[in-house]
Amino acid sequence: MTALAQTGYVAGRHLRFFIRQPWFVVMALIQPVIWLLLFGALFKSVAQIPGFTSAATYLDYLVPGVLVMTALFGCGWSGMSIIEDIDRSIVDRFLTTPIHRSAIIVGLNVYELVALLIQAVIIGGLAWLLGAKFEGGILGYGALTVCAMLVGATVAAFSDAMALILRQRESVIGINTMLTMPLTFLSAAFMPLALVPDWIATAARFNPVNWAVEAGREALTASPDWSMIVPRVVALAVLAILTTAWATRTFRAYQKGI
Amino acid sequence: MQRDHTGVIEAEGLVKTYPGGVTALDGISLSVRGGTIFALLGPNGAGKSTTVKVLTTLSRPDSGTAVVAGHDVLRNPDRVRRSIGVVAQKAAVDPSATGRENLRLQGRIHGMAGRRLESRIAELLEQFGLPDAADRIVQGWSGGMQRKLDVAMGLVHRPSVLFLDEPSTGLDPEARATLWAEISRLAADEGLTIFLTTHYLDEADRLASRLAIVDRGRIVAEGAPEALKAELRGDAINVVVGSADAGPDAARVLERIEGLGAPTLDGTLVSARADHAATTVPAVLSALDAAGVAVAAITVARPSLDDVYLRHTGRAFRAAALEVNA
């Protein structure tokens, strides 16, 4: 119970910071919109390639990719907040109080996920205005958002852990670029796997980003196959829990080095 | 306020080596009585901050034990954390939050809430002279004000032991004086046990009822400031010679003078203690003159903590600080 309350306090602290930086808010809102418009225009003719069989419109096809990519890129920066708190001795202050270690990590990641949720609403709304059909309705879009948030939680926890272990901005930036780009493009985010080389299709099967994209995309169809969606969501949830638990443990590694 | 006069902090044989082989603590043992101010004095890198980190459960020692406020730091860290307030070397305040929000988060982490928390926050803001700034973002506050908030955050939950790691570093003289007054008041009026580290001799002298001098991870002297100074018999005669080359010659001359203790040499400064400085100074001057050593200056000083430090470490305090910083 106290851990839960403490998580809320930590999340509140980060959310307050977010709201007080108008520039931050604007950036967080604009970035996925740019991706949606840019990729929408860039890949429009993909839908004409023989073998492209899915989704009502290319926009319907694209939205899960853009949302999951937003989760990856947004939450991947989570570790930067940890680094800033390390530099300001705020992490050390927390560690000398009876706060649950998990509350520090989960509180930060709850904030990341709230920001992601807002982005999901904006992406969905804009895509709908641009003509996406979303045959799966609100439920389908909700399932897609859950998939994206689970990816976000995993990446955020991973980023936090890296920050606590390596304690350098550069390491978080490096991990971000090294990881997010391949994970995004080794998936069906922007191109059906039927149209990509075999090795990419094979890699995609083990890529959690792809699980999220495919499950989210399935949920958006007129009659989703839930037996395909549920196992992927469960796998993503397990991954999110494991990385969060691991990130919580990295405080030990951090404390060894100080 | 209840006072406990047994050891509120007891450390025994603390050893800590960092990855890379740097020995930060090389067997630190100390004892601090309840309701007193204890100062750990030493140059940067001597092991002060590491000692604080171990006592505040932030860092684990390689060996040794420590009990703080009745709880073992290794076996019961959460109990220790409930009883202590910690003010780190760098102001650990959230610059994007207001002063009140900083205090509120700290209180909530310690399980405080509602009216009890809000009135405690108001009380602390008043006590540290911050009520006007309370609802402004900390980013724009002066260093001195941030430091006060930092200390206030360490006190929200009414700890029984307060750790202050170099509390006045970077403060202007006025802010330092205010902080000193507040620290003294906390120990005297609220019965708080305060463990502070400093590399300012005057700070330790002014605030602490007991102090320990730490050098290269070891405690080289411990006691009340007055007792440590009294241990040094008589006054210090400090001779500054014209060049560093002449230092060893001057030291040899001083060694042979009756009524003078063993001289210490630090660059161009040769110091020795005299039972009767008034009669010894002329003897020193004539002996140096006879030996052909040019004297640039000679002073006589009552014992200070500088002298205590010099005697126990064999180095002048400033020199040790420079050596570590270099």
Bridge partners, residue B16, by sequence? B25
**Interface contact flag, B88 A94, Cβ < 8 Å:** no
State the pLDDT at residue B319.
Answer: 60
At residue A35, the pLDDT reads 87
Angle at B167 between CA B161 and CA B172, to 5 degrees: 150
**Maximum CA extent, chain B:** 79
Full DSSP string of A151-164: HHHHHHHHHHHHHH
Residue B163's nearest CA partner among B181, B189, B183 is B183
CA atoms of B299 and A159, how far apart (whole Å): 60
Contact A100, A4 (CB under 8 A): no
pLDDT averages per 10-residue partition of chain B, 326 residues: 65 92 93 95 90 96 96 96 94 95 97 96 95 96 93 96 91 88 92 93 91 93 88 83 87 87 87 84 90 90 79 71 48
Question: Which residues in chain A have Cβ-Cβ distances shorter than 8 Å to B58?
Answer: 92, 95-96, 255, 258
Q: Is A5 at the interface with chain B, CB within 8 A?
A: yes
> Which element (helix H / strand E) includes B237?
strand B235-241
Q: Is A24 on the interface with B (CB under 8 A)?
A: no
Per residue in A188-232, pLDDT (tens digit) is 988 888 888 999 999 999 999 999 999 999 999 999 999 999 999
Considering only alpha carbons, which residue of chain A is nearest residue B110? A98
Residues 135-174 of B with CB under 8 A from A: 137, 153
* pLDDT reported for residue B66: 97
Rounded mean pLDDT, A27-55: 81
Chain B contact set for A98 (CB, 8 A): 78, 81-82, 109-111
From chain A, the residues in CB contact with B137 under 8 A are 20
DSSP letter at A53?
-
A44 touching B (Cβ < 8 Å): no
Q: What average pLDDT does the structure give for chain A?
A: 92
Length of chain B: 326
Query: Does B60 contact A255 at a Cβ distance shorter than 8 Å?
Result: yes
Flag if B88 and A258 touch (Cβ within 8 Å): no
A225 touches chain B (CB under 8 A): no
Closest of B73, B114, B99, B190 to residue B153, by C-alpha = B99
What are the chain A neighbours of B112 within 8 Å (beta carbons)? none
Query: Residue B113 has which token pair?
Result: 């809430």
The answer to whether A43 touches A60, Cβ cutoff 8 Å, is no
Residue B17: beta bridge partners? Answer: B23
b/e string for B122-137 if b means 16 or more Cβ within 10 A? eebbebbebeebbeee
CA distance B320 to B326: 10
- Return the higher-pLDDT residue of B242 and A165: A165
What pLDDT was estimated at residue B3?
42
How far is residue A39's CA from residue A59's CA, in Å, rounded to a whole number?
9
Q: Is B92 touching A (CB cutoff 8 A)? A: yes
Asked whether the beta carbons of B168 and B180 are under 8 A apart, the reply is yes
Shortest CA distance from B24: residue in chain A:
A258
Largest CA distance in chain A: 61
Q: Do A255 and B86 touch (CB under 8 A)?
A: no
Chain B interface test: which of A96, A101, A251, A252 (most B C-beta within 10 Å): A96
Cβ atoms of residues A121 and A127 within 8 Å: no
Residues in A 83-102 with any Cβ partner in B closer than 8 A: 88-90, 92-99
Interchain proximity B94–A257, CB inside 8 Å:
no
What pLDDT is attached to residue A191?
85
Residue B83's CB: how many other CB atoms inside 10 A? 18
Q: Are A89 and B91 a contacting pair at CB < 8 A?
A: yes
Q: Are A14 and A75 in contact (CB under 8 A)?
A: no
What is the phi/psi pair of residue B57, to 5°?
A: 70, 10
Torsional sign, CA A175, A177, A178, A182: positive
Crossing angle of the two packed helices A2-20 and A22-42, in degrees rounded to 10: 80
What is the torsional sign of CA A165, B95, B101, A77? negative
SS3 percent helix, strand, coil of chain A, rounded to 5, is 80, 0, 20
Count Cβ–Cβ pairs < 8 Å, chain A vs chain B: 71
Q: Whole-angstrom Cα distance, residue B208 to residue B165?
A: 14
Bridging pattern class, strands B37-41 and B22-33 = unpaired
Residues of A with Cβ-Cβ distance to B78 under 8 angstroms: 98
Across the interface, of A88, A90, A98, the residue whose CB is closest to B81 is A98
Give the up-direction half-sphere exposure of residue A252: CA atoms within 13 A in the CB hemisphere: 5
pLDDT at B112: 96
Residue type, B324: V
Q: Which of A92, A98, A256 sits opposite B92 (nearest CB)?
A: A92
Query: CB-based contact (8 Å) between B22 and chain A?
Result: no
Q: Given CB atoms, is B106 within the 8 Å cutoff of chain A?
A: yes
Strands (E), chain A: none
- Between CA B195 and CA B160 the distance in angstroms is 11
Share of chain A above pLDDT 90, in %: 70
Phi, psi angle pair for A138, to nearest 5° = -60, -40
- Beta partners for residue B165, in sequence order: B197
Q: Does A6 touch chain B (CB under 8 A)?
A: yes
Give the pLDDT confidence of A125-158 residue by residue, as tens digits: 999 999 898 999 999 999 999 999 999 999 999 9
pLDDT tens figures, A82-98: 999 999 999 999 999 99
Contacts of B57 in chain A (CB under 8 A): 95-96
Give the integer Cα–Cα distance in Å for B288 and B253: 7
Give A-chain residues touching B97 at CB under 8 angstroms: 13, 16-17
Calculate ∠ Cα B84-B86-B87, nearest 5°. Answer: 155
Task: Say whether residue B12 is in contact with chain A using an 8 A CB cutoff.
Answer: no
**Interchain pair A258, B106: CB under 8 A:** no
CA–CA gap between residue A187 and residue A193 (Å, rounded): 7
| pLDDT category of residue A172 using cuts at 50, 70 and 90 | confident
pLDDT for res B276: 80
